[in-house]
Amino acid sequence: MTRIILFTLTNLSVVFLLSIIFKITGINIAKHYELIILSSVFGFGGSLLSLLLSKWIALRAINGKIIIKPNNEIENWLIKTIKNQSIKAGIKTPDTVIYKNSEINAFATGPNKNNALIAVSTELLNKMKLEEIEAVLAHEISHIANGDMVTMTLLQGVVNTFVIFFSKFIAEIISNVFEFNKEESTTSKKPTIIYFILSTMLELTLGILASILTMWFSRRREFYADAGAAKIAGTEKMISALIRLKMSNEPIDNSSISSLCIHGKSKYLSNLFLSHPPLDVRISALNNKTYIKIL
């Protein structure tokens, strides 16, 4: 119910904000009302669908299987640890998945905090100490308890809506200027070649700029999750886990789940487009407790 309320309020907020922009600029809202609705539907539709299918998508991306019955000691320990941490965080115990991968990593996903999964790589289990694994699990539990998946979905929906709307709106204005017969261009409902080209270019450009905002928020949620892990498992364990990650190789996980992982991609990317803060910054924040100011 909470997700439905948030989704509805966010949609209404987007429409309301666009209405204010139209009011200030003197643009006829009735003429572009259909575009506003379509932008909202497509903007939120894709994000919402991804959220609802997030567990299914993740399982297929990593070719993983949910542990129904523990087959060995480590699987039994994982399930017990996640269950105990879930009780502390006040959420339903997420499904547990182990997936084969040659890097140290883990991630959490799911449509809501009571229907989620936590996946850990085989390399993480092989290279990390139990207390470090405990901290990583606590980090993912914090992501779930904080509702990061839903929040990121709503944010992405808002961003998508604005990108779709303004790319088409600006393209329409510019293409009309370039039309030889202005009277025909303002009454015709058929899009022109210029419109399609401009719309595509603007959507790509605005999409890149908008990703700076979403990545900024994504980086902040990592500080929240680190702080939550420090509270659940202990600060020293979380720092030790991050140091272990720092010593590992660059992430090579499937791009469809890389932003979910505890160790996000950083190579060749500007800091503005990082989904995770640099590990040194996260370690420093925990050491100096500066994450309290960030939060």
* Mean pLDDT within 191-207: 85
Residue 1 pLDDT: 47
Checking if the pLDDT of 289 tops 70, the result is yes
The confidence score (pLDDT) of residue 246 equals: 86
- Burial pattern 16-28, b for ≥16 Cβ within 10 A else e, equals eebeeebeeeeee
Distance CA 230, CA 220 (A): 16
Lowest mean pLDDT among 17-21, 88-92, 98-102: 17-21
- In 3-state terms, what secondary structure has residue 99? strand
Higher pLDDT: 157 or 22? It is 157
Overall residue count recorded for the chain in this entry: 295
Angle between helices 54-62 and 29-52 (to 10 degrees): 50
Of 103, 132, 134, 140, which is the active-site residue? 140
Confidence of residue 195 (pLDDT cuts 50, 70, 90): confident
In this predicted structure, the answer to whether residue 239 has a pLDDT above a threshold of 50 is yes
Say what the pLDDT of residue 186 is: 45
- Distance CA(57)–CA(213), nearest Å, equals 24
* Average model confidence (pLDDT) across the chain: 81
- pLDDT in the model for residue 269: 53
Bridge partner list, 118 = 96, 108
Per-residue pLDDT of 120-140, as tens digits, reads: 999 999 999 999 999 999 999
- Order the strands of the 65-66 sheet from edge to edge: 65-66, 95-99, 115-121, 106-112
Return the pLDDT at 146. Answer: 93
**Which pLDDT score is estimated for 95?**
96
Q: Is the pLDDT of residue 118 over 60?
A: yes
Count of Cβ atoms closer than 10 Å to residue 97 Cβ: 22
Tokens of 289: 């407790």
Phi, psi of 108, deg, nearest 5:
-125, 145
Tens of pLDDT, residues 34-75: 777 788 888 888 888 888 899 999 999 998 889 999 999 999
* CB atoms closer than 10 angstroms to residue 273: 15
pLDDT in tens, 254-277: 555 555 566 655 444 567 888 888
Catalytic annotation on 140?
yes
Beta strands in 100-208 (DSSP E): 106-112, 115-121
- In this structure, are residues 259 and 108 in contact, taking their beta carbons and an 8 Å threshold? no
Between strands 115-121 and 65-66, the pairing is: unpaired
In sequence order, the 6+-apart residues with CB closer than 8 A to the CB of 120 are 78, 96, 97, 98, 99, 105, 106, 133, 136, 137
* pLDDT, position 35: 78
Dihedrals phi, psi of 54, to nearest 5 degrees: -60, -40
Q: Is 198 helix (H, G, I), strand (E, B) or coil?
A: helix
What is the pLDDT at residue 276? 87
* Vertex 266 angle, CA 260 and 269, to 5°: 115
Give the Cα separation of 109 and 119 in Å (integer).
Answer: 9
Percent of the chain at pLDDT exceeding 90: 38
Could you tell me which residue, 152 or 270, shows the higher pLDDT? 152
Q: What is the DSSP letter of 118?
A: E
Position 187 scores a pLDDT of 45
Query: Residue 66 forms beta bridges with which residues?
Result: 97
